[in-house]
Structure 1
């Protein structure tokens, strides 16, 4: 799917922020992949690009369907974005790594999160074709982050350094009570 990577005066879709109850709801499987799903994916990609993001889950815009869009290199025009419908992680590597994460739903907050280094994920593409990929490094992290959103989990729930978490959230005006720690 190609999408114009241009800055709009405003995002097409409204991204919900930490504290919004919609972010804690689980998404439902998509049973019918049609033009409305493809249009939603296009709108999500444009919103993601407009917000300088590399991933966006439908739950972040208040739509509780299992749909995520990803482009780890949005500035590279030849890089095709990933559209994952009903994604499911089938394998996690034993090796994990720590990397700083941020989120369009928690602007200005960047914190270290530990995640498996490599995953295998199955999904359907925007035409309903079953796909499976092996992902590592940044792509694996972004897929895990976005699938967490589909399950009502946010990256701050996985942060182990409580003092750093509380400080960064307060600096950006977010409420610490909105975090549901998974420690």
Structure 2
């Protein structure tokens, strides 16, 4: 179904935390693009909206499928919303590669943020919600989102990309505010 329909349907689900095995293992490829996937996508959009996120991988609600949704701005401030199944991210290399050190967080470790250097642009290839091939190049929050969510699909949380000291501080920051995020957050 169209993204506009996915955005108005669905029920917010609890977001699981770092340390849960499904977040630290590669996801299964999406092979069926029928009603079960559409229902999952609607729930993912509802969950992301309730949590005020930029994107959400299926693994973050406990489903080990290689799909994420996004709802954030690109490099020129345009709001972009969509779905990528079976994502692969291509990053600029050599002279075209420029890293941007920016604040990043994860809905699976809510309330904790730290700077992480990532390439300023990325190209994400995969399939849309119908199984059609897509390729999107973006910078800004969307370009970072493609990298962050594809990491989730590959069993990587952004803390895995941090030095030990910075990762430990991230956990301390989360612990300080964790009482604001119940086990059922953001679902009620």
Pair in the same fold by TM > 0.5: yes
1:156 corresponds, among 156, 159, 163, to 159
TM-score (norm: length of structure 2): 0.80
- In structure 2, the partner of 1:170 is 172
- In structure 1, the partner of 2:119 is 116
Kindly tell me the number of residue pairs found equivalent between the two proteins. Answer: 165
- In structure 1, the partner of 2:182 is none
Q: 1:157 to 1:139 in 2, by over 3 A?
A: same
Cα distance in 2 for partners of 1:35, 1:21 equals: 26
Offset of residue 62 of structure 1 = 1.2
- In structure 2, the partner of 1:37 is 37
- In structure 2, the partner of 1:96 is 99
Cα distance in 2 for partners of 1:156, 1:33 equals: 31
Given that 2:70 and 2:80 are in contact with CA atoms closer than 8 Å, whether structure 1 keeps it comes out as no
Higher relative helix content: 2
Given that 1:122 and 1:130 are in contact with CA atoms closer than 8 Å, whether structure 2 keeps it comes out as yes
Cα distance in 1 for partners of 2:115, 2:83 equals: 26
- In structure 2, the partner of 1:46 is 46
User: Which gives a bigger RCO, structure 1 or 2 (Cα 8 Å, sep 6+)?
Assistant: 2
Helix, strand or coil at the partner of 1:44: helix
Q: Is there any run of 5+ residues in structure 2 with no aligned partner, and where? A: 177-188
Q: Is there any run of 5+ residues in structure 1 with no aligned partner, and where? A: 175-183
Cα distance in 1 for partners of 2:61, 2:25 equals: 12
